[in-house]
C-alpha cells in the first residue's frame, strides 16, 4: 500500500472517530434526563424535575405538606383576646396539598381546612361553628433542625353571634406564632 493511500485511509478513520465521539457526546448532553427519574408524576426537562402539585424535592420525592403536619405550639394575642399559648395539630387532608387543623384558635371542635403550596399555608374562607375564619401562614424552617419550624399565621375569626372580629395580623393586631 502506498504512503499516500495509507494517509488517506488513516485520515478517513480519524475523521470517522472524531465525528462519532462528537455525535455520542452531543447526544448524551441533549438527553440530560436519561438517568433522572422524577417521582409522583414529575416531569424531567433539561435535567431538572418539575413536580406535580403537592410535591417538591430534587426528584419530586417529598410531599410539601409533610413539613406542615404534626403538633404545633401556638402563641398569640388577637385584637379581642388576651395572650394565649395552646397546642394544635395539622393533619393530612383529602388531596396531596390539603390539610386539616385541629384545635384552631383553641376554641373550635370542628377541623379548619386549608392547603399548602411551597412554604405557605392557606386557610380557606369557611364557616366553622358560629364563626367565619380565613388566613395564611408563612413557614420558616429551622436552619439546623429539619423537624422544627416557625409558622407565622395571619388570620381572623368573625363571630356571627356577636358580629365582632378577632384579628391576628390579617388587617390589625399581631400575627399568630406557631412553633414546631
For the segment 72-115, what is each residue's pLDDT rounded down to a tens digit? 999 999 999 999 999 999 999 988 999 999 999 999 999 999 99
- Grid coordinates representing 33? 434526563
User: Do both 159 and 76 map to the same domain?
Assistant: yes
Q: Are residue 76 and residue 20 in the same domain, yes or no?
A: no
- 84, 4: one domain: no
Residues 159 and 171 in one domain: yes
CATH number at residue 125: 2.40.128
Claim to verify: residue 51 and residue 111 sit in the same structural domain: no
Provide mean pLDDT across the span 17-31. 55
Does 111 lie in the same domain as 170?
Answer: yes
Using one digit for the tens of pLDDT, what is the confidence trace for 128-147? Answer: 999 999 999 999 987 766 67
Residue 158: pLDDT above 90?
A: yes
Which range marks the domain in which residue 46 is found?
32-60
Q: What average pLDDT does the segment 145-169 reach?
A: 93
Positive/negative CA dihedral, 142, 93, 107, 138: positive
Q: How many independent structural domains does the chain possess?
A: 3
> Is residue 47 predicted with pLDDT exceeding 60?
yes
Percentages helix, strand, coil for the chain (3-state, rounded to 5) are: 20, 45, 35
Distance, in Å, from the CA atom of 55 to the CA atom of 81, rounded to the nearest integer, reads 37
17-38 average pLDDT score: 67
Amino acid at each position: 500500500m502506498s504512503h499516500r493511500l495509507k494517509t488517506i485511509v488513516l485520515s478517513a478513520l480519524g475523521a470517522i472517530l472524531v465525528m462519532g465521539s462528537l455525535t455520542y457526546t452531543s447526544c448524551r448532553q441533549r438527553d440530560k434526563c436519561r438517568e433522572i427519574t422524577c417521582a409522583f408524576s414529575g416531569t424531567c426537562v433539561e435535567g431538572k424535575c418539575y413536580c406535580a402539585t403537592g410535591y417538591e424535592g430534587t426528584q419530586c420525592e417529598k410531599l410539601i405538606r409533610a413539613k406542615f403536619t404534626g403538633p404545633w405550639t401556638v402563641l398569640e394575642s388577637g385584637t379581642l383576646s388576651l395572650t394565649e399559648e395552646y397546642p394544635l395539630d395539622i393533619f393530612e387532608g383529602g388531596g396531596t396539598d390539603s390539610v386539616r387543623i385541629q384545635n384552631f384558635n383553641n376554641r373550635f371542635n370542628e377541623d379548619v381546612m386549608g392547603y399548602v403550596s411551597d412554604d405557605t399555608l392557606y386557610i380557606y374562607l369557611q364557616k366553622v361553628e358560629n364563626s367565619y375564619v380565613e388566613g395564611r401562614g408563612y413557614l420558616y424552617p429551622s436552619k439546623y433542625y429539619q423537624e422544627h419550624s416557625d409558622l407565622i399565621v395571619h388570620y381572623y375569626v368573625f363571630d356571627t353571634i356577636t358580629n365582632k372580629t378577632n384579628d391576628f395580623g390579617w388587617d390589625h393586631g399581631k400575627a399568630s406564632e406557631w412553633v414546631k
